[in-house]
Amino acid sequence: MLSAFALALTRLFDPRLAPIWLKGLAVTLLACAALGSAGWWGLSAAIDRYADDSGLGPIAAGLVVILALWLLWRVVALGVLQFYADEVVAAIEARDYPAMAAQARKLGWREELSRGLGGALRAVLFNLAALPVALVLLVTGVGAPLVFIAVNAVLLGRELQDMVWLRHRPSPDSPAPLSAFERFTLGAVTALLLTVPLANFAAPFLGAACAVHLIHRKRARI
């Protein structure tokens, strides 16, 4: 796992790969900016109209939007990454695993869009389901973040594996190449990176690149 992430980190600065993850980052930032602007406008108007006469609605709405975007960043980033997943994985495979790249099945844009929306929806639903537990553990100081990291580790591990595996599996019922522990570890490291300022910008790409190295190295040993 450590060597796979080290390799993934070096690929951030590869001239052939950097434009792809930077494009995904730009789309993610634009999507978050659009969601944040729409949310701020709607909340500030509602607060000023129904709950506050002091003109503090925009400030209160801004605080709510900042918190919401912090929680939703991983959802938006994952959805965008899945939309570009085929391009990201294909570029890494072409550089490091050309034989595997030649055997890969190209995913259509409909399949990528369906996977992206499905992954984002699962992320929203699972995080909402975890919210009551996180609120109860809020008094512990560390319980709430650990709940969200654990939930997103499970989600991310599965999604990152599928980004690579769906291009190569012999049949729909073929067993997944990574064990549950490997998927959870992959997802946990990526989820932790998503909580670190600046590192969270590159975390989705690093997770995808790590999944490529993990899966192809493991398949080569079988």
Tens of pLDDT along the chain (222 residues) come to 778 888 888 877 788 777 877 887 888 888 888 877 887 777 777 776 766 555 666 676 677 777 777 767 777 777 777 677 777 888 888 888 888 888 888 777 777 777 777 777 887 788 888 888 888 887 777 777 888 889 889 988 988 898 888 888 888 788 888 999 999 999 999 888 888 877 878 888 888 889 999 998 887 665
- The count of structural domains within the chain is 1
Tell me, what amino acid is at 102? A
pLDDT of residue 188: 92
Q: Is residue 177 within 8 Å of 163, Cβ to Cβ?
A: no
Q: Is residue 137 within 8 Å of 130, Cβ to Cβ?
A: no
pLDDT of residue 77: 75
pLDDT of residue 175: 87
pLDDT of residue 183: 93
Domain coverage including residue 23: 2-221
Closest CA to 61 of 80, 77, 42: 42
pLDDT of residue 181: 92
Q: Is residue 83 within 8 Å of 116, Cβ to Cβ?
A: yes
pLDDT of residue 11: 77
Q: Is residue 1 within 8 Å of 186, Cβ to Cβ?
A: yes
Q: Specify the long-range contacts of residues 96-99, CB closer than 8 Å, at least 24 apart.
A: 96/7, 96/212, 96/213, 96/216, 97/212, 97/216
- What stretches of 51-179 show up as alpha helix (H) in DSSP? 57-83, 85-96, 98-103, 109-136, 143-165
pLDDT of residue 197: 74
